[in-house]
Amino acid sequence: MAGEEFFTSLGLWFLRALVSSLICLLIGYIGIKALTHITTKINEFETIKGNALATSLFVGGFLVYAGLVVYGSMVNPFFLSQAVMLGSYFNLQRLIVVILSFFVSLLFGWLFYLVFAKATPFDVDLDDINKNPTAVGVFLFCYEVFLGLIVFASLTLPIG
């Protein structure tokens, strides 16, 4: 009986983490699509297409994002309750924090882009990124890590 209860608990934990991860991965996909609309001077996917290194940087960045999301979801999934019951409830507060942090990441991404593209504080032209597919791949990689850290923080942040 104790073994059955353990496997039921393990299955529920895995299911909760899986659902949380899938929701966050969808948020990441939307974030990358939104980034392409925010950064109008950078043609992300047109530039990296056909370049192995740039594409691998993009995919590698998404793997880092996915790793952060899966880890955060395993530690603190959207579904709560450790009881071995199918009635585990959905943590709407956690989902709101994750979605809000996603919008904060878009806001900061847009602000950073605006500062670098318009104000040029370091006297660097943002258009230079578009000249090299590897540079665009690094840019996407860094955004995915940035978004991953923000979503990870929102998944593990204590909600009191």
Q: Among all chains, which residue has been given the structure tokens 């923000």? A: 150
DSSP single-letter state for residue 79: B
Six-digit token string for 77? 């999934």
Q: What is the pTM of this model?
A: 0.83
- Which amino acid type is present at position 58? F
Q: What confidence tens digit (pLDDT) does each residue in 110-128 have?
A: 898 888 888 878 888 777 8
Name, in order, each residue with C-beta under 8 angstroms of 32's C-beta and a sequence gap of 6 or more: 62, 140, 143, 144
Q: What confidence tens digit (pLDDT) does each residue in 12-24 have?
A: 788 888 888 999 9
Q: What confidence tens digit (pLDDT) does each residue in 59-112 have?
A: 999 999 999 999 998 887 666 554 444 444 567 788 888 899 999 999 998 898
Alpha helix locations (H) across the chain? 2-38, 44-48, 52-75, 92-114, 133-156
Burial class (CB in 10 A: 0-12, 13-18, 19+), 54: buried
Six-digit token string for 39? 């950064």
